[in-house]
Each structure stands twice: as C-alpha cells, then as structure tokens.
Amino acid sequence: MTLLTVTGLTITGRHLLVDDVDLTVAAGETLGLVGESGSGKSLTARAVAGLLPKGLTATGSVLLGDGAGMQLIGARERVLRSVRGNRISLLMQDPFTMLNPLRTAGLHIAESLPKRPRGGTLREEVVRRLAEVGIDDPAVADRYPFQLSGGMRQRVAMAAALAGDPELLIADEPTTALDATTQHEILMLLRKLQEARGMGVVLITHDLRVAFELCDRVSVMYAGRIVERGPGAHVAKEPAHPYTSGLLAALPSVTRTLPVLTGIPGNVPPAAEVTEVCAFAARCGQATAECTKARPVLRELGAGRHTACLHEVRPRNDHAPEPAPAVQTSRPFFTAEPGEPLLRIEDLRKAYGTHVALGGVALEVRAGESVGVVGESGSGKTTLSRCVLGLVTPDGGRIELAGEDITPRGRRTRAARAHRLVQCVFQDPSTSLNPALTVGSTLAEAAAQGPAEGRLSVADLLDLVGLPAAYAVRKPRALSGGERQRVAIARALAVRPALLICDEPVASLDVSVQAHVLELLRGVSRDLGTSLLFITHDLAVVRQIAERMVVLFKGAVVESGETAGLLDRPRHDYTRRLVASVPPTP
C-alpha cells in the first residue's frame, strides 16, 4: 500500500529551491534521501509535513494515503494539524529542537498521545512508550532533557514522535550527532519499530553508510532535484550518476587507510542557476558540451533504477589516486626531533560531583604525530581536551607540553607561550569565527597573537588551507560549512602552534567536504610538523587521520596502539563493540 505520493514538488521563495521532485513511500518501506547540504532534502521533508518556513511556497502534489489520498499542498492549517503527529510525524537531528527544556520526558510523550489510554493510567502508558524505545527505567519520565544523555534524549524524542502512532515517520538526520554505538542502537531500534508497526519511513541523511544499510530505496538529491534513484543495494554497488559515484568515492574506510582522500571539487549551486543545464556539469569530470545545452531528465535503466545523466557512468575508481600536493609554507611550524614527546599526560583526573570524567588518563603525542582519541559520549574525550587547553582545572595529574608543565591550576594564568603552542579546531566553526568580522580581520587578529618572526599574512593563511585570497573580504555567513571550517583551521594555525587539538572537526560536514578537510589536516601534520590530537566518534575518520589511537571508556584508557592494528584486531570488548557498530562501507 502506498502511503505517500509526491509529484512535481517545487519550492520557491525569492528564488527556486526545490525543482520538480517526485517521491513515493509504501507501508513498511524506508526511503533514503541523500545528498550534500543545500540539495533540498530537509525542505522537501518540511513541505510534506506542511512546515515550510514563512516566505516559502510549495506547488505540485503531496498525496497522503492510497488511491485518491489526502492532498496536503494547499491544505488549510487546521487539516495539516490533524495530520501532523497522527498520520505524519517528524524526528529531527537535534532532540532539543523537539523537546521543551521546561517539560519532563513523560510530559512530552503524554501530550503527543492521540487519546487517553484504556485499561490503564496515563503514567503506565508513558512508561510503556519509553520501554518501546529501549528506556526501561520509569524514573526517566520525571527527568528533564538536560538531565539525559544525547542518546537518551533522542530516544525520548522518538517516543514522542511515535506516540501518535503515525503511518509515516520523517527522520531528518536523526543520528548525525551521536557516537557510533548509540547511532547503531537508535537505527536498529527504528528498524524494529518500523517492522512492528508497518510504518513508512523517510530517512534524510548525508551518511551514505547509514542510508545504504537501512533504506530499501534511495533517492539522491542535488541542487533541488532528484538525480538518481533506485534500490539501495544496487545504487551502492553500481552508481548510475557521477554525483553518486563521487560521494561514494569520498567515503573514508574503517578497514583500510586511503592514500588520498578525494572529495568532489566545488559546491552545490543554487537550484535557480541551473534550471536549463545539468546541475552537476560544473563539478563533473565526465561533462561534455551536451551537458550544458539542456536539462537531463530522469531516464529509466530498468529494475527500478533511474538516472539524470546523459552518459554511462565510469566504474568507481578504487586504485590509488595521485598524492595530494604539499601544504606550502616557508618552514615547519615547530622543530623537534621526530619521535620526541611533545604532549605528555600523566594520571589526569577530573570529577564532577560523583561523576568521574577522567579517572587517571595517561597518553603521549610525539612531535609531528597524529593521535586519535575515540569513545562514546561521556567517555571523557572533551574533558581531556579542555584540560589540555587550560579551560578545565583537573583534580590531579600533570600535563606537559614541549617540556613545560602547563597543567591548569585554578586561578594561575598560563604563560602566553603555552597558549601559542596549543590551539583547537571545534566541530562548529561558528564558535571560532566572529560573524561581524571579515575573514581577513579574523585571521589578522589571530596572527598578531603569535611570534613576529615568520608571521604569515592573511593571504598566506588562506593559501595554506586552499582558499582564494579574495575570501579575505567575505564574512562567515557568505561561506559554505566546509569553507568556514577551513577558515577556522587557518585561524588556529595563525599562531604557528606545535599541537592542534581537533574536537570532532568533521562530524557535521558532508562526506565530500569531510574528505577535503581531512586531507588538509593530513597535510598540516605531514608538511608543517604540527602534531594532532584528534577527537572523534567516527572510527572510519580516525583510521584515515591518526597514526596511533587511544580508546576512552568511562574516563579510562581501555586500549591504545597503532591505529590500523587496533581497528583490525581489537582486544578489549568495548573496542570490539565500537568496531562492530560501524555500518559497512559501500
């Protein structure tokens, strides 16, 4: 039975945003929507639920139900309210966008129930709904969102989204911010609930591993259009559009270290600028003059496969690509004998009340080396980095950088040299960039904090991270997410640090942009002599970036060693669980 039929969906505001999209979802089926940021995935989902932002208009057809169905395009808000939560429900990436911080978990679920339960109390029904999403502790119903872990918040958000027993669930990046094991648990739970209810699911994600593991069919979006669709297994094995092939080629592998990480050059163009041509032509290595003369239509390849490419797509290129060019600068940032210890942490301890964040952690980073730190949320990764940065005062232990004791001790101010020796790149570059300043002003201000000798100019710093000098006059809002992260890296490198701490720097980036940023960080370590302490929950990423790695679990190092050997032959049960939770690379 068909639950949803979308035909010719077009979304416009000041400009065209989504262009003539067709989708269908059957009962019990999972449809994946994949593509880079700016492709129109989330806007398509919001149009289906009647939740487009003000100023945007949807045309075309969105039919809910089999046969004639209920037309949602142009429906009154009263009709849409009767549908949302009851027949169609949304599960968002950040549960804080769904959960009111002033309401308990139980109240969120209770207010989403379609009617009062029969044969039991409201409390019993709330507890039953929590148990359905794997929360067996009834006391969770009385807790507020800030009292729950990220995985628990997402489970509560899922319970609230499913409380109305919807026919169709739209899950928009539901596991992007979660660690590997929690992500795996949430996805397996979603699959189990879907099978038990016969529910249709639209899964929006930029994680191709998740899409191809979970989805029956996949539609690939680019610049507001569907450029390829078909059964997930077939699309993963033999992509029929160069864009899909490029996304798959950019995926990091957890089973092998790739000599070069290759992303797709350029950015997604606005849909309004490519209405009469192949939208991907400017970024495609197979493009011909024919591609810029007319817009390719989706043509059928058989077995439910469609592609909007005029040509036969070349097979995926799995041989070793050309080495990446060296990151250019006049000399290494930090001179030390290879193998000489740069960062040494001994018996580092930190507790917050009764919660032990770090229980005696020891690790070492050598000059020019990249060391990965992996573990679930709450394992102590971020507390460790904040201690090294001087943002958290540990309860005990010692932190030594380049032979100098930099352990934070309450009110004592660290020497300026210590601040210059270590810098950080965060997950969200917005935390590092002042939106009121131009890129050039930000970089000049940062460079002035470093030593005068060998100081890099703004143009030098932009060139260092692969951005044109003309970007100096732009403000952060005029840049893409990947470009903002490159500027954040340039800002961190402006003081010529010996150690760069990277705290989930690619977690929120599209796979192609992620490949570019990881290759840049590889070059920073290789060519500038800068050591990396790379914090991540993504084992495929740590395989590509780190020579050695340590595994944190509940504030303790449970395993450490050379990255490839540790991931190929994990010894600790916790490490084995982490490795087993990673979806296979297509």
Buried b (16+ CB within 10 A) or exposed e, 450-471: beeeeebebbbbbbbbbbeeeb
The pLDDT assigned to 127 comes to 93
Burial class (CB in 10 A: 0-12, 13-18, 19+), 2: middle
Q: Of 132, 148, 164, at which residue does a domain stop?
A: 164
Instruction: Determine how many CB atoms are found less than 10 A away from the CB of residue 74.
Output: 12
333 within some domain: no
Across residues 245-265, what is the average pLDDT? 92
Pick the last residue of a domain from 164, 179, 211: 164
Q: 574 lies in a domain? A: yes
Are 40 and 144 members of one domain? no
What are the tens digits of pLDDT across the range 96-107?
777 899 999 999
Question: How is residue 586 annotated by DSSP?
Answer: -
326 assigned to some structural domain: no
Q: Is residue 520 part of a domain?
A: yes
402: left (phi over 0), alpha (psi -120 to 50) or beta: left
Residues 226, 365: one domain? no
CA distance 6 to 60: 8
**Smallest Cα–Cα separation from 329: which of 464, 471, 444?**
464
- What mean pLDDT do residues 398-403 have? 92
Identify whether residues 356 and 346 lie together within a single domain.
yes
pLDDT of residue 25: 96
**Looking at the structure, do residues 367 and 384 belong to the same domain, yes or no?**
yes
CB count, 10 Å around CB of 525?
20
Helix orientation angle between 105-112 and 150-162, rounded to the nearest 10 degrees: 20
**Res 179 pLDDT > 80:** no
Does one domain contain both 176 and 127?
no
| Residue 349 belongs to domain with CATH number | 3.40.50.300
Residue 178 has pLDDT above 80, yes or no: no
Model confidence pLDDT, tens digit, residues 561-576: 999 999 999 999 999 9
- Structure confidence at residue 137 (pLDDT): 92
Residues 196 and 154 placed together within one structural domain of the fold: no
Residue 80 lies in a domain: yes
The predicted structure's pLDDT at residue 8: 96
- Which residue, among 27, 24, 79, 48, has the nearest Cα to 170 in the 3D structure? 48
Residue 124 placed within a domain: yes
Do 566 and 534 lie in a common domain? yes
Q: In the prediction, which pLDDT does 555 show?
A: 94
At 321, the pLDDT band (50, 70, 90 cuts) reads: low
pLDDT at 320: 47
Residue ending a domain, choose from 164, 182, 207? 164
**pLDDT tens-place string over residues 456-494:** 899 999 988 988 999 999 999 888 888 899 999 999 999
- pLDDT tens digits, residue range 15-67? 999 999 999 999 999 999 999 988 999 999 999 999 998 999 999 999 998 76
Judge if 211 and 159 occupy the same domain: no
User: Does residue 245 register a pLDDT over 90?
Assistant: yes
Q: What is the mean pLDDT of residues 392-402?
A: 93
Q: What's the total number of domains in the chain? A: 3
C-alpha to C-alpha distance for 400 and 406, rounded to whole angstroms: 6
Same domain, 304 and 210: yes
Q: Name the average pLDDT for the chain.
A: 89
R_g over Cα of the chain: 25
Whether residue 180 sits in one domain with residue 274: yes
> Cβ of 27: how many Cβ atoms within 10 Å?
16
Residue 458 located in a structural domain = no
Q: Model confidence at 129, in pLDDT bands (50, 70, 90)?
A: very high
Domain residues for the domain of 17 are: 1-87+166-252+262-313
Report which of 35, 530, 548 is spatially closest to residue 271, judged by C-alpha positions.
Answer: 35
Based on the domain organization, do 18 and 120 belong to the same domain? Answer: no
Distance separating the N- and C-terminal Cα atoms of the chain: 30
Q: Would residue 480 count as lying in a domain?
A: no
Give mean pLDDT, residues 293-310. Answer: 93
> Tokens standing for 295?
């817009």
Backbone phi and psi for residue 53, each to the nearest 5 degrees, phi listed first: -60, 155
Q: Does one domain contain both 350 and 269?
A: no
The order of strands in the sheet holding 396-401 is: 355-366, 341-352, 396-401, 404-405
Q: Each residue of 187-243: pLDDT tens digit?
A: 888 899 899 899 999 999 888 888 998 999 999 999 999 999 999 999 999 999 999
Spell out the SS3 assignment of 97-141: HCCCCCCCHHHHHHHHCCCCCCCCCHHHHHHHHHHHCCCCCHHHH
